[in-house]
Structure 1
Amino acid sequence: MSAVSAVGAVTHRALVRRPPDARGRTFVEVAELPTPRLGPGDALLAPAVVGICGTDWQILRGLRDDPSPVLGHEGVARVVEPGDTGLPVGSMVTVNPTHPGDPSFLLGHNLPGLWAERTRIPATAVRAGLVIPVPAGADRARVAALAEPLASVLYGLRIAAHTLRPAALVVWGDGIVGRLAREAWQREFPPLRTLLVGHGADAVDPHDPGLPELLADLPAPAAVVIATPRTGTREALSVVDRQLPGTVLVDVHAGLPSGAVPLAGRELDVATLRAANCGGGPWPPRVHAFDRPTGPLLLCGHRGVAREHLLEAIDLLRERRDEPLGHHVLTHEVDLAGAAELVNSVLAGTGRVLEGRRVLKAAIRLGERP
C-alpha cells in the first residue's frame, strides 16, 4: 500500500538488498521507497503474492551479478494504474518476467521486481502483452508463487513431448523446479519410471556410488530434466552423458556459464544451445542431436516462457484434487517483514533450513500496512 511521506512524496515498502558483504551475500531489509513515476504507457501494479525462487537465492548468495535492488519475478498483482493494458483498475494480473524481443527487460533481475508494494512495468513490456489477466483465485499462495516455475516446467515438457515419448525420467535437482517437473511429467506420461537426484530424503544423492547402476538400469528412451543450481549443471550433464545409455533427451532447465562442455565426444557450448528456445518460439522447437556410442543425445533447453504456459500453469494449480499439483513444494508463507527474516536467516546459515524445515518455495503475501 502506498503512503505519503513527511515531505509529501508517495512511497511504498519493499524488500531491498543491502550492499554485498565480504562473501558476496546481499542481505535484505524492509525499506520505504519512492513510488515510481510513470511514463506514457507504463503500468503500476500492487503485488499481492510473490515467490522466492532458486534464482533469487543465487542472486542473494552472490552467485549471479543481477543488479536490481528489489528482486522478485513471479507472482500475481492488482492493477493500480493500467497504462495501455486496457485492464480495469483492481483487476488481477501476472507478469511474464522475460521479454523475448527485449533483453533489457528482466523483471527482478535488471529492473525492480515484485518484492514490493508497488512495481512499475515499462511500456515496452505492456505493449508486448507481458501483463496478463488471471482468473479469480490466482492470488492463493500456492498458485501465485508456483505459476512461473511450473510454466517453465511445462515449456520444457512441451518441447520434449514434441520430440519423443519417454519410458523413463531423470530429474537432476530436487528443489522447486525439479519437484514440479517430476510431478508434471508423471501426470503427462503415466506410467513413467522416475529417478530423482538430489539431497532430499526421497532423492538419490548425486555422489551415491550406486547412482551409475540406477541410471544404466532405466529403460530407453529416457528424458532428463536438469534443474540444479547453475554451479551443478556441468557435473549433471557429464554424468548423464557417460552413464545413461540409449536415446536420451536432456532438457537443460538450469542455467550454466558460457563456454565449452565436453559431451558426446566433443566440446559443446551448452549455454548457447539452451537459449535457442525462448518465450515459446520457435515452434517446432530446436532440439540438437548428437551421436554417441551408447545412443543418441538430444539436447534442448529454453529461456523464459510464453503467455500460454503461464495460463496453463495457473489452471493446473487451481485444480481441486486431494493432492493438488505442487502442494508439497510451498513450504513457507510470510509477510514482508517475515520475508526479510526468512531470507536473512537462510543466508546467515549453511543451508536452506529454517526452523527445522527445508525452504523450498516461500510465498510473500503483501497487503495493507498494519
Structure 2
Amino acid sequence: MTAATHRALVRRSPDARGRTLVDVAEVPTPSLGPGDALLAPVIAGVCGTDWQILRGLRDDPSPVLGHEGVARVVEPGDTGLPVGTTVTVNPTHPDDPSFLLGHNLPGLWAERARIPASAVRAGLVVPVPDGADEPRVAALAEPLASALYGLDIAVHTTRPAALVVWGDGIVGRLAREAWQYELPGLHTLLVGHGADAVDPHDGGLPELLAGLPSPVAVVIVTPRTGTGEALTTVDRHVRGTLLVDVHAGLPSGDMPLAGRTVDVAALRAANCGGAPWPPRVYPFDRPAGPLLLSGHRGVAREHLLRAFGLLLARRQEPATPFGAEVLTHETGLDEAADLVNSALTSPGRAVDGRRVLKAAIRVGGQP
C-alpha cells in the first residue's frame, strides 16, 4: 500500500448466475473533501446481507462491501477524534439515504474507507471501548445491536411470554441469545434449517406455533425472499397477542395479512436508526388475537455501544462467550477472497467443512 493506493476486496462483474465473486486488488485511496474522515479498517464482518448482494439477490452497487467492523482513525475530518482512535461506523444514516456504507458507498473490506462529512457530522463514527478490535466483538457488534433494537421495541410494547425467531442465521441466533439473556425464562422457538431449529416446512410447526403462551413475539430474520412466508404463517397459526418485528427486508407492495392487505415494507421502514421513540407499532385486529406489527432499519449509537459492552463483558463469563456459535470463520485480507468465493460457489455456503455464518476479515488497521 502507498499513500495513493490501498488493497481492497473488489467485486467482479456478475457471472452467468448473477454472482459477483471478489479479488484482492490495489485501488486508489479516496481523496477527502472538507470534514471527511479516513479510516483504516481493522476487522470487517461478512454478514447475511453481503451474501445476498454477492449472490445477485440485491442490486447494491458498491464495488467494495462491508458495513460491520471496527477501524482506526487516519484522517479525523470533523470527528474531533485523535488519529489512531478505534471506532466503529453506524452504516445507516437515518436522514440521508445516499449514505449506506458498503451498499452504495465503498465499505470496510479495504485498508482504507472514506466516511463523508455528512455522516461524520451525524455522529455515525463512534469511538468504541478497549478490546473492541477482537474479531468476535468487532464482527458481531452491529448485528447484535440490531437485535437489541428489535428487543427494545418489543419490550416497550408488551412483555412477551414466548419468542419465535424465524431464521437461524447470524442475526437470528444473536437475537435468540440476547432475548434469553434479557428476559430469563422466555419460551423460545427457533425456525430454520440448523440442527437445533424447526424446519419452516415441518408439518408439526403450525401446532407448535398455536401452542405458544401469549403474548408471542416473533423476530423475522430470513432472507428477503422468505419474509412474506414467515409473516403469513405466524399470522395464521399463533393464538393470542402476536407482536412481530420484521427485521428482514422484503419487497415493497401489499401482502395479505390479518384479513387485509398491508404494505409491510413501508411499516418496517417507519423505525430507523432508533427514531422515533416511542417506536411506531401498528395494531391490527384478527380473530385469533391482536397483531402488533413493527420493524426497523439500522440502529442508533446507543445500540452499538450497548452491543460492544455486552460482547466485551461476557468474554469470560459464562464459559461460552456471547455469540461464540455465530463467528464461524476468521481470515486475513489476502485469504478473504478465497473464503468468499469458495462460500459462493459451494453447496450450503460451506468452507473447510463448516457452513459460513459470520466471517471476520482481519484487514489490518495500519495508519
Give the TM-score band, short-chain normalised. Answer: over 0.9
Give the CA deviation at 1:366. Answer: 1.0
Structure 1 counterpart of 2:85, from 86, 91, 96? 91
**Secondary structure of 2:262's aligned partner:** strand
Structure 2 counterpart of 1:146, from 125, 136, 140? 140
Q: Residue in 2 aligned with 1:306?
A: 300
Q: Residue in 1 aligned with 2:321?
A: 324
2:2 maps to 1:3: yes
Give the CA deviation at 1:185. Answer: 0.4
**Secondary structure of 1:203's aligned partner:** coil
- Give yes or no for contact 2:167–2:222 (8 Å, CA) kept in 1: yes
**Secondary structure of 2:27's aligned partner:** strand
TM-score by length of 2: 0.98
**Secondary structure of 2:141's aligned partner:** helix
Work out the number of aligned pairs and report it: 363
Letter in 1 for 2:216: A
Q: Residue in 1 aligned with 2:236?
A: 242
Distance in structure 1 (CA, Å) of the matches to 2:119 and 2:360 = 24
Distance in structure 2 (CA, Å) of the matches to 1:272 and 1:337 = 40
Structure 2 counterpart of 1:272, from 266, 269, 288? 266
Q: Residue in 1 aligned with 2:281?
A: 287
Unaligned runs of 5+ in 2: none
- Give yes or no for contact 2:41–2:365 (8 Å, CA) kept in 1: no
Q: Residue in 2 aligned with 1:53?
A: 47
Structure 1 counterpart of 2:358, from 345, 357, 361? 361
Distance in structure 1 (CA, Å) of the matches to 2:133 and 2:55 = 28
Q: Residue in 2 aligned with 1:205?
A: 199
Letter in 1 for 2:52: Q
Give the CA deviation at 1:336. Answer: 1.0
Q: Residue in 2 aligned with 1:315?
A: 309
Q: Once the two structures are superposed, what CA deviation does each residue of 1:173-232 show, in whole Å capped at 9, x if it has no partner?
A: 000000000000011111011000000000000000011111111110100000000010
**Secondary structure of 1:24's aligned partner:** coil
Distance in structure 1 (CA, Å) of the matches to 2:81 and 2:170 = 31
Letter in 2 for 1:80: V
Distance in structure 2 (CA, Å) of the matches to 1:368 and 1:261 = 45
Letter in 1 for 2:93: H
**Secondary structure of 2:120's aligned partner:** helix
Q: Residue in 2 aligned with 1:123?
A: 117
**Secondary structure of 1:251's aligned partner:** strand
Q: Residue in 1 aligned with 2:190?
A: 196
Give the CA deviation at 1:368. Answer: 7.3
Runs of 4+ in 1 over 4 A off after TM superposition: none
Distance in structure 2 (CA, Å) of the matches to 1:169 and 1:352 = 28
**Secondary structure of 1:12's aligned partner:** strand
Q: Once the two structures are superposed, what CA deviation does each residue of 1:116-137 show, in whole Å capped at 9, x if it has no partner?
A: 0000000000111100111110
**Secondary structure of 1:47's aligned partner:** strand
Distance in structure 2 (CA, Å) of the matches to 1:216 and 1:337 = 50
Residues 3-82 of structure 1 mapped to structure 2, 5 A cutoff: 3=2, 10-82=4-76
TM-score by length of 1: 0.97
Distance in structure 2 (CA, Å) of the matches to 1:120 and 1:206 = 41
Distance in structure 2 (CA, Å) of the matches to 1:220 and 1:208 = 22
Q: Residue in 2 aligned with 1:343?
A: 340
Give the CA deviation at 1:350. Answer: 2.5
Distance in structure 2 (CA, Å) of the matches to 1:167 and 1:268 = 26
Q: Residue in 1 aligned with 2:331?
A: 334
Give the CA deviation at 1:164. Answer: 0.6
Stretch moving more, 321-330 or 192-201: 321-330
**Secondary structure of 1:351's aligned partner:** helix
Unaligned runs of 5+ in 1: 5-9
**Secondary structure of 2:229's aligned partner:** helix
Distance in structure 2 (CA, Å) of the matches to 1:359 and 1:19 = 23
Letter in 2 for 1:361: K
- Give yes or no for contact 2:42–2:365 (8 Å, CA) kept in 1: no
Cα root mean square deviation, aligned: 0.9
Distance in structure 2 (CA, Å) of the matches to 1:67 and 1:177 = 23
Distance in structure 1 (CA, Å) of the matches to 2:293 and 2:241 = 11
2:185 maps to 1:184: no
Q: Residue in 2 aligned with 1:7?
A: none
Give the CA deviation at 1:323. Answer: 2.1
Distance in structure 2 (CA, Å) of the matches to 1:95 and 1:56 = 16
**Secondary structure of 2:140's aligned partner:** helix
Q: Once the two structures are superposed, what CA deviation does each residue of 1:291-345 show, in whole Å capped at 9, x if it has no partner?
A: 0000001100001100000000000000131222111110000011221111101
Distance in structure 1 (CA, Å) of the matches to 2:93 and 2:349 = 30
Distance in structure 1 (CA, Å) of the matches to 2:222 and 2:189 = 14
Distance in structure 1 (CA, Å) of the matches to 2:352 and 2:201 = 27
Distance in structure 2 (CA, Å) of the matches to 1:296 and 1:147 = 33
**Secondary structure of 1:3's aligned partner:** coil
Distance in structure 2 (CA, Å) of the matches to 1:281 and 1:166 = 22
**Secondary structure of 2:178's aligned partner:** helix
Distance in structure 2 (CA, Å) of the matches to 1:275 and 1:34 = 35
Distance in structure 2 (CA, Å) of the matches to 1:30 and 1:142 = 23
